[in-house]
Amino acid sequence: LALVSGFRYYVGTDYGAYESMFRYGVSDGIEPGFELFVNLLKGIFDNPQSFFFFSSIWICGLLFVAAYKHSAHPFYTVLLFVITKVYFVSMNAVRQMMAASIILLGMKYIRERKLLAYTAVVLVAASIHRSAAFLIVLYFLYSFKTSFKKYVMLGAFSVVFGRYIVAGLVWAIKKYTSYGRYFSSNYNTGDASFGFILIFACMFALMVYIYEKNREDNIVRYVLNIVALCLIISMFSGSF
């Protein structure tokens, strides 16, 4: 998988942007960890293909290590990586996937309740893509306990008020950050579709069923909380 991704040529809408970063330097505002990665490669190689090769080794390598260390069924973890199309996303959203692979490798600190160690992992990941900073919330989801009734209330709140909250966030992003340009570009894919939300709803229902049979299992509760968060976020940006 790493070799196929590493030797790709003009696959993904960001391919040209990353090629330009390698040839002419990263643009202002790019995270320092990613800039260091690019500069190290430029100091050794003169072909931009090296960026795609080593970033693919980074993403697939860390994900596979995390799967074999943390997953009860590594084969199925890797299979899901492919069939859910995340593998193909990694050929475009390179920085995001590099950061995500670091988070995956460091998730053991969540289970071990080592906040400082996990915070360090998040900071390293955020040096590749700053959005990784939001994943600090995963640490606190591990011990979060609530009831099915409260989940339903949060879901109802998301449906009723979500669009207004998202509209406010979009306004703030356009006004105060450099990411506003994405809303008027091809990267704006619109609201989350009903089918997309339904998938998360089915996953949530399945996790509730599993949780009811394994209430003392912290991992099951943790996965339930993550799925619930994904469902709520999708409902905030959904079209009904």
Q: pLDDT of 162-185, one tens digit each?
A: 666 766 776 676 666 666 666 666
Q: Which residues of 112-149 are buried (b: 16+ CB within 10 A; e: fewer)?
A: eeeeeebeebbeebbbbbbebeebbebbebbeeeeeee
Handedness of CA 67, 80, 112, 219 (dihedral sign): negative
pLDDT tens for residues 109-119? 998 999 999 99
At position 79, the amino acid (one-letter code) is L
What percent of the chain has pLDDT above 90? 39
3-class secondary structure, 222: helix
Q: Is the pLDDT of residue 126 over 80?
A: yes
Q: What local confidence, expressed as pLDDT, does residue 232 receive?
A: 79
* Alpha-carbon span 42 to 22, nearest angstrom: 7
